[in-house]
Amino acid sequence: MQTGDSDLAELSTPAITALQWDRAEMGRHAAQMLLDRVTGRTTEPPRCVRVPVSLVVRESCRPPRQANAG
């Protein structure tokens, strides 16, 4: 599994399961936080911003193995 979906994840064999998020939204948050910091609009400590993620299940994931019935 990888974080950040890419074309390579889909093209590899087996295709790799990945976490996917809106990179443009993440970039907007980062740019706004940076601009706020360098222009002095904020002096608050750094903060955590959460963006929605989704799981893109591909061939690298399979159902769990069945336990042997004893």
Q: Please, what is the average pLDDT of the chain?
A: 85
**5 to 17, 28, 37, 47: CA distances (angstroms):** 8, 18, 29, 24
Mean pLDDT of 29-56: 92
pLDDT for the residue 46: 85
User: How far apart are the C-alpha atoms of 25 and 21, rounded to whole Å?
Assistant: 8
pLDDT for the residue 69: 57
pLDDT for the residue 70: 54
User: How far apart are the C-alpha atoms of 19 and 26, rounded to whole Å?
Assistant: 14
Domain extents in the chain: 2-56
pLDDT above 70 for 30: yes
